[in-house]
Amino acid sequence: MGKNILPEGNTVGKWFLPEGPNSDIVLSSRIRLARNLAGIPFLPRAEPKDQEKVLEMVKEALNEQRFLEEGYFLTENELSPLKLEFLKERHLIPLDFVRSERKRGIYIKRDETESILINEEDHLRLQSLTSGMDLFSAYEKIENLDNTLSEELPYAFTPEFGYLTTCPTNVGTGLRASLFLHLPGLVITKEIEKVLRSLLEMGLVARGIYGEGSETKGNLFQVSNQITLGLSEEEILEKVTKVGEQIVEYEKKAREFLMRDFRLAIEDKIARAYAILKNARLLNSEEATNLLLLVRLGINLNLIKEVDLKTINILLILIRPANLQIYYNQEMEERERDEKRASLVRSVLSNG
């Protein structure tokens, strides 16, 4: 497999541990800032030599401000398809970055809480991740990174429009605030469609867990703002936080309803999921994820006490195809992955 990449394959980012506010429902908060450099053609018009120049300028700025001592700078030459998939599964890069043929790179802080994509849709995409519902904390981190980089890099900015971006919906602050939510109560009670429709009316959007271009699957959703122009950073953060708090309340009420009116059915569903995970010899990625999410719900409903949320959150990352191969440090065919995945889950759950 060649040289491994960091973060290490047997760990998960600090942002994915259940330590933040409302982390039983909100797995994480994400802030992303879109930035471009003045005097260099924007993507996709930028030619390869322009893209190389952006890479060099960003790496030099990171080095000048000593960020490279706190993380890793990787270029496309160091990013094999497996490693790109590994980073996507950890929510550090989007689908478009995986598929792109541009001269691109990524900076990742060791604990995965901060990262920078170079030459994705914009010259720079700065990202901050925190546990639970804590957008303001995530923004504070990324604002510090942004301000420091702006001392070294000439951002494309005008007083009239703010930060200039490739996509018009990002012009202004260039800020996208997202919440990564686990909403089994709303899905099981079939109230989720009503919630998703109301998001659109409020100028927010729900996407799949890997961001734009990915489908919403199971009961995991990513909710974020759509427009940045005309809104301040604080207004965007307040709006997404307020909507997130409403969704959390809806989810809590849905769970209470299920436990009050359908307790036996919910207990049975969760007990079966836990039993399968502890005994299965073959598990594909989708099945394992869905079963682990049911166990996660069971823990939050106090139906399962032998294992904690932290363990389940870690498994939700490690069982994904690329992460599983990095964890075992070997490339595997699908059948072998299913066997190794089941073995890993059994081993972890047996140790509680």
Is residue 335 a known part of a binding site? no
- Cβ atoms of 240 and 276 within 8 Å: the answer is no
For residue 121, say whether it is annotated as part of any ligand binding site: no
pLDDT 10s digits, 146-199: 999 999 999 999 998 899 998 888 888 999 999 999 999 999 999 999 999 999
Q: What is the 3-state secondary structure (H, E, C) of 77-131?
A: HHCCHHHHHHHHHCCCCCHHHHHCCCCCEEEEECCCCEEEEECCCCCEEEEEEEE
283-325 per-position pLDDT tens digit: 999 999 999 999 999 999 999 999 999 999 999 999 999 999 9
* pLDDT tens digits, 113-143: 999 999 999 999 999 999 999 999 999 999 9
Would the annotation count 349 as a binding residue? Answer: no
Query: Annotation-wise, does 125 bind a ligand?
Result: yes
Mean pLDDT taken over the chain: 92
Q: Is 32 annotated as a binding residue?
A: yes
186-229 tens-digit pLDDT: 999 999 999 999 999 888 999 876 555 445 566 999 999 988 77
Q: Are 313 and 17 in contact (CB under 8 A)?
A: yes
* CA–CA gap between residue 269 and residue 142 (Å, rounded): 41
179 in a known ligand binding site = yes
Is 209 among the annotated ligand-binding positions? Answer: yes
Whether 178 has a binding-site annotation, put simply, is yes
Is 30 among the annotated ligand-binding positions?
A: yes
Please name the helix (run of DSSP H) or strand (run of DSSP E) that holds residue 146, with its range, or none: helix 135-150
Separation of alpha carbons 74 and 55, rounded Å? 10
- 131 annotated as belonging to a binding site for a ligand: no
Q: Is position 208 annotated in a ligand binding site?
A: yes
